[in-house]
Structure 1
Amino acid sequence: MKLPDQRWYIASPNPDQVKKLVAETGLSPLLAQVILNRGIDSPQLAQVYINPETENLPDPLTEFPDLFPSIELLKEAIETGEKIAICGDYDADGMTSTSLLLRAFNHFGGDAYYEIPSRMKDGYGINERIVEKFAEEGVGVVLTVDNGISAYNPIKLAVELGLTVIITDHHDLPEKLPPADAILNPKLLPIQSPYRGLAGVGVAYILAVTLAEALQKSDGIIDSLLELFTLGTIADLAPLVGVNRRWLKKGLKQLPNSQLVGIQALMQVAGVSEEQKQLKPDDIGFKLGPRINAVGRIGDPETAIELLITDDPAIALERAMQCEQINSQRKSLCEEIEQEAIHLIRTTPIDYKRDRVLVVVHPQWHHGVIGIVASRLVERYGVPVFIGTYEEADYSKIRGSARGIEEFNIFESLVYCYDLLGKYGGHKAAGGFGLGSDNLIAFQERLSQFAHQLLEPHHLKPLVKIDGQADFKQLKTQLYENIDSLQPWGIQNAFPVFWTPNVKILEQRTVGKNHLKLVLGQDDGQEIKAIAWRFGSYFPLPKCLDIAYKLTENNWNGAVNIELEIVGVRLPAGATIKPHNSFTYQGKDYICYYSEKEQELKIKNSQGKVLAIRKGQRKGLLGINRQEAQEIDVTKKPYYDIIRAAMNSLNLTK
Structure 2
Amino acid sequence: MARIPNQRWRIASSQPEIVEQISLSTGLLPLVSQVIVNRGIENSDLAHIYIDPETEELPSPLEEFPDLAASIQLLEDAIAFKEKIAICGDYDADGMTSTALLLRTLRHLGADVDYAIPSRMKDGYGINQRIVEEFAENGVGIILTVDNGISAYEPVLLAVELGLIVIITDHHDLPEKLPPADAILNPKLLNITSPYRGLAGVGVAYILAIALAKKLNKVKGLTSQLLELFTLGTIADLAPLVGVNRRWLKRGLRQLPNSELPGIQALMTVAGVNEEQKQLQPDDIGFRLGPRINAIGRIGDPQLVIELLTTDETGIALERAMRCEAVNSERQQLCEKIQKEAIELVETKPIPWKELRVLVVVKENWHHGVIGIVASRLVERYGVPVFIGTYEEEEEKDKNKKNKSNQELKIRGSARGIEEFNIFEALNYCQDILGKYGGHKAAGGFSFPAKNLESLEQKLSEFAHQCLEQQHLKPLVKIDALAHLEEINHNLYDQIDSLQPWGIGNSFPVFWTPNVTVKEQKKIGKNQDHLKLVLQEDNSPKEMKAISWRWGEYCPLPSKIDIAYKLQENHWQGVTNIELEIVGVRLSQENKTIAINHQIKTNNNIKKGRFNYNGRTYACSLWQPLNELRIKNEQGKVLAIKKGNRFGLLGTSRNNARKIDITKPPYFHLIKTAISVLQD
User: Structure 1 length normalisation: TM-score?
Assistant: 0.87
The Cα of 1:574 is off from its aligned counterpart by 6.0
- Residue 545 of structure 1 aligns with which residue? 561
- Residue 536 of structure 2 aligns with which residue? 521
- Residue 294 of structure 1 aligns with which residue? 295
Read off the aligned partner of 2:9 and give its amino acid letter: W
Pick closer, same or farther for the CA change 1:279–1:574 going to 2, 3 Å: closer
- Residue 506 of structure 1 aligns with which residue? 519
Runs of at least 4 residues off by over 6 Å: none
Residue 419 of structure 1: SS of its match in structure 2? coil
Residue 21 of structure 1: SS of its match in structure 2? helix
Whether the 8 Å CA contact 1:503–1:545 is kept in 2: the answer is yes
- Residue 251 of structure 2 aligns with which residue? 250
- Residue 558 of structure 1 aligns with which residue? 574
The Cα of 1:403 is off from its aligned counterpart by 0.8
- Residue 453 of structure 1 aligns with which residue? 466
The Cα of 1:439 is off from its aligned counterpart by 2.2
In structure 2, C-alpha distance between the alignment counterparts of 1:88 and 1:133, rounded to whole Å = 15
Segment drifting more, 112-121 vs 437-446: 437-446
In structure 2, C-alpha distance between the alignment counterparts of 1:358 and 1:543, rounded to whole Å = 33
What is the aligned-residue identity percentage? 70
In structure 2, C-alpha distance between the alignment counterparts of 1:286 and 1:331, rounded to whole Å = 12
Whether the 8 Å CA contact 1:98–1:145 is kept in 2: the answer is yes
- Residue 481 of structure 1 aligns with which residue? 494
In structure 2, C-alpha distance between the alignment counterparts of 1:215 and 1:444, rounded to whole Å = 55
1:611-626, aligned counterparts within 5 Å?
none
Read off the aligned partner of 1:259 and give its amino acid letter: E
Residue 400 of structure 1: SS of its match in structure 2? strand
The Cα of 1:229 is off from its aligned counterpart by 0.3
- Residue 597 of structure 1 aligns with which residue? none
- Residue 286 of structure 2 aligns with which residue? 285
1:571-586, aligned counterparts within 5 Å?
571-573=587-589
Give the unaligned 5+ runs of structure 1: 577-654
In structure 2, C-alpha distance between the alignment counterparts of 1:307 and 1:462, rounded to whole Å = 38
- Residue 613 of structure 1 aligns with which residue? none
In structure 2, C-alpha distance between the alignment counterparts of 1:93 and 1:495, rounded to whole Å = 22
1:62-73, aligned counterparts within 5 Å?
62-73=63-74
In structure 1, C-alpha distance between the alignment counterparts of 2:68 and 2:447, rounded to whole Å = 33
Residue 521 of structure 2: SS of its match in structure 1? strand
- Residue 422 of structure 2 aligns with which residue? 409
Segment drifting more, 532-541 vs 282-291: 532-541
The Cα of 1:326 is off from its aligned counterpart by 0.3
Read off the aligned partner of 1:139 and give its amino acid letter: V
For each residue in 1:370-415, what CA deviation from the matched residue of structure 2 results, as whole angstroms up to 9, or x when unmatched? 0100000000000111111111345611111111111111122222
For each residue in 1:396-446, what CA deviation from the matched residue of structure 2 results, as whole angstroms up to 9, or x when unmatched? 111111111111111222222223222122221111111121222222222
In structure 2, C-alpha distance between the alignment counterparts of 1:175 and 1:497, rounded to whole Å = 39
Read off the aligned partner of 1:521 and give its amino acid letter: Q
Whether the 8 Å CA contact 2:486–2:540 is kept in 1: the answer is no
- Residue 270 of structure 2 aligns with which residue? 269
For each residue in 1:451-501, what CA deviation from the matched residue of structure 2 results, as whole angstroms up to 9, or x when unmatched? 122111101100000000111111001110110000000001000000000
1:467 is aligned to 2:480? yes
In structure 2, C-alpha distance between the alignment counterparts of 1:470 and 1:452, rounded to whole Å = 37
1:228-243, aligned counterparts within 5 Å?
228-243=229-244
- Residue 56 of structure 1 aligns with which residue? 57
1:343-382, aligned counterparts within 5 Å?
343-382=344-383
Number of positions where the alignment pairs a residue of Structure 1 with one of Structure 2:
576
Whether the 8 Å CA contact 1:13–1:36 is kept in 2: the answer is no
In structure 2, C-alpha distance between the alignment counterparts of 1:505 and 1:574, rounded to whole Å = 15
The Cα of 1:179 is off from its aligned counterpart by 0.9
Whether the 8 Å CA contact 1:240–1:493 is kept in 2: the answer is yes
Whether the 8 Å CA contact 2:3–2:556 is kept in 1: the answer is no
1:133 is aligned to 2:146? no
In structure 1, C-alpha distance between the alignment counterparts of 2:56 and 2:457, rounded to whole Å = 47
The Cα of 1:89 is off from its aligned counterpart by 0.5
Whether the 8 Å CA contact 2:515–2:590 is kept in 1: the answer is no
Residue 420 of structure 1: SS of its match in structure 2? coil
- 1:534 corresponds to which of 550, 565, 568: 550
Residue 174 of structure 2: SS of its match in structure 1? coil
Give the unaligned 5+ runs of structure 2: 395-403, 593-680
The Cα of 1:161 is off from its aligned counterpart by 0.8
In structure 2, C-alpha distance between the alignment counterparts of 1:18 and 1:518, rounded to whole Å = 32
Residue 408 of structure 1: SS of its match in structure 2? coil
In structure 2, C-alpha distance between the alignment counterparts of 1:574 and 1:256, rounded to whole Å = 46
Read off the aligned partner of 2:458 and give its amino acid letter: E
1:81-92, aligned counterparts within 5 Å?
81-92=82-93
For each residue in 1:196-250, what CA deviation from the matched residue of structure 2 results, as whole angstroms up to 9, or x when unmatched? 1110100100110111111111001011000000000000000000000000000
Whether the 8 Å CA contact 1:87–1:116 is kept in 2: the answer is yes
Whether the 8 Å CA contact 2:3–2:558 is kept in 1: the answer is no
Whether the 8 Å CA contact 1:399–1:433 is kept in 2: the answer is yes
1:209 is aligned to 2:210? yes
In structure 2, C-alpha distance between the alignment counterparts of 1:369 and 1:409, rounded to whole Å = 21
1:186-225, aligned counterparts within 5 Å?
186-225=187-226
In structure 1, C-alpha distance between the alignment counterparts of 2:156 and 2:533, rounded to whole Å = 57
Residue 167 of structure 1: SS of its match in structure 2? strand
- 2:509 corresponds to which of 496, 504, 524: 496
1:326-341, aligned counterparts within 5 Å?
326-341=327-342
Read off the aligned partner of 1:515 and give its amino acid letter: H
User: Structure 2 length normalisation: TM-score?
Assistant: 0.84
The Cα of 1:575 is off from its aligned counterpart by 6.8
